[in-house]
């Protein structure tokens, strides 16, 4: 039999004796695994210490550069205000991302179903993407009364393009022989889309989604700077703006940290979702032995 059982082969490996090269590789892998988190954390600690030393040694006033400890305590003391602002920013980001996914995937599917639609609309999608959001945002707030809707439109404008272009690429990447196979078995357009094009596009879409997630946050923040309205609907960007008028630099830092953390969380969550969906079959999610 030419059939070999991969699981059995994998189980058999540890029983073999390791040579010097193997041992070196294992050591290197261990080092890399620890280093992946230990090095950035160590660097952060050094950075914070250096920052603190810089402020103390030069007697910099806290309205120019606060000590890290002060930023931390501001984060705690202002938490009620900052957390509600964080919630608003998160909501805008998530909603924009959701609309970007629906709009991007929907439009991409439409593109692959009709060349005419693609030819008509694609140039405009590109124009929207290459025009900086900061330049469009003021106009949007002229025409849109609702603060939230305006923010949403801005964030969506930035976020939807990577989803659209990646998904379109993915939908058009279906294997030609498989397309023939589907034709031979009399697949309908819908079946080809459902069982062939969409699964092919999934890894491409997820790549676009990761970019779109962080872009949606950027869009939401930029739009809020432009909109500049406060009150109950104020997000993190507005809190930064407001704090800068009051020379409340510690709060600016605190809000900035929250935005950065939010961005990282979005990226990590989307990467994790991507890994879960692809780990069984896609090359990107598969660890190679040796």
Partner 1 sequence: MSASAAGHRRTVLEMQGVDKTFGGDVEALRAMSLTVNDGDFISLLGPSGCGKSTALRLIAGLSEPSGGRIVWEGGHEIGDLGVVFQEPTLMPWATVADNVWLPFRLRGHSYNEVRDRVLEALKLVGLERFQKSYPRELSGGMKMRVSIARAMVTNPRIILMDEPFAALDEITRFKLNDDLLMLKDRIRCTVIFVTHSVFESVFMSDRIVVMAARPGRVVRELSVDAPYPRTEEFRTSAEYAALCRSASEALREAMGEHA
Question: Which residues form the interface with partner 1 (CB under 8 A)?
Answer: 1-6, 175, 177-178, 180-187, 191, 195-196, 199, 202, 280-283, 286
Q: The tokens of 67 are what?
A: 């000590």
The H or E element spanning position 15 is: none
Smallest separation, CB 195 to partner 1 (Å): 7
Q: Which is nearer to partner 1, 47 or 195 (CB)?
A: 195
Smallest separation, CB 9 to partner 1 (Å): 11
Q: Which is nearer to partner 1, 3 or 41 (CB)?
A: 3
Q: Which is nearer to partner 1, 4 or 58 (CB)?
A: 4
Positive/negative CA dihedral, 123, 125, 126, 127: positive
Smallest separation, CB 13 to partner 1 (Å): 16
Distance (Å, rounded) from C-alpha 153 to C-alpha 255?
Answer: 23
Smallest separation, CB 179 to partner 1 (Å): 10
Positive/negative CA dihedral, 217, 222, 226, 228: positive
Summary count for the chain: helices (H), strands (E): 12, 0
Q: Which is nearer to partner 1, 129 or 172 (CB)?
A: 172
Q: Which is nearer to partner 1, 174 or 216 (CB)?
A: 174
Q: Taking a C-beta distance cutoff of 8 angstroms, is the pair 250, 71 a contact?
A: yes
Residue 215, helix vs strand vs coil: helix
Smallest separation, CB 187 to partner 1 (Å): 5
Q: Taking a C-beta distance cutoff of 8 angstroms, is the pair 136, 157 a contact?
A: yes
Distance (Å, rounded) from C-alpha 261 to C-alpha 209?
Answer: 18
Q: Which is nearer to partner 1, 49 or 276 (CB)?
A: 276
List C-alpha distances in Å: 96 to 71, 196, 212.
30, 28, 9
Smallest separation, CB 287 to partner 1 (Å): 12
Q: Which is nearer to partner 1, 182 or 253 (CB)?
A: 182
Smallest separation, CB 285 to partner 1 (Å): 11
Q: Is 203 buried (19+), middle (13-18) or exposed (0-12) by CB count in 10 A? A: buried
């Amino acid at each position: 039999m030419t059939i070999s059982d991969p699981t059995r082969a994998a189980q058999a490996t540890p029983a073999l004796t390791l040579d010097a090269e193997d041992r070196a590789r294992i050591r290197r892998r261990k080092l890399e695994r620890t280093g992946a988190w230990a090095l950035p954390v160590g660097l952060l600690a050094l950075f914070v210490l250096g920052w603190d030393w810089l402020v103390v040694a030069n007697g910099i006033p806290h309205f120019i550069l606060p000590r890290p400890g002060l930023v931390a305590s501001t984060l705690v003391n202002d938490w009620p205000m900052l957390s509600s602002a964080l919630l608003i920013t998160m909501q805008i980001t998530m909603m924009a991302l959701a609309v970007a996914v629906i709009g991007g995937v929907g439009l991409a599917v439409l593109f692959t179903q009709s060349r005419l639609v693609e030819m008509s609309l694609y140039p405009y999608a590109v124009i929207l993407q290459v025009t900086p959001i900061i330049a469009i945002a003021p106009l949007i707030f002229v025409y849109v009364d609702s603060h939230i809707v305006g923010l949403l439109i801005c964030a969506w404008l930035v976020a939807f393009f990577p989803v659209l272009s990646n998904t379109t690429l993915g939908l058009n990447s279906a294997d030609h022989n498989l397309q023939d196979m589907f034709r031979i078995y009399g697949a309908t357009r819908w079946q080809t889309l459902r069982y062939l094009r969409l699964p092919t596009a999934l890894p491409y879409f997820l790549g676009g989604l990761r970019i779109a997630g962080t872009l949606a946050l950027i869009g939401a923040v930029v739009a809020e700077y432009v909109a500049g309205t406060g009150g109950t609907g104020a997000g993190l960007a507005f809190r930064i703006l407001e704090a800068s008028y009051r020379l409340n630099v510690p709060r600016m830092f605190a809000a900035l940290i929250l935005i950065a953390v939010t961005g990282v969380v979005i990226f990590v969550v989307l990467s994790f979702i991507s890994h879960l969906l692809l780990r069984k079959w896609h090359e990107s999610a598969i660890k190679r032995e040796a």
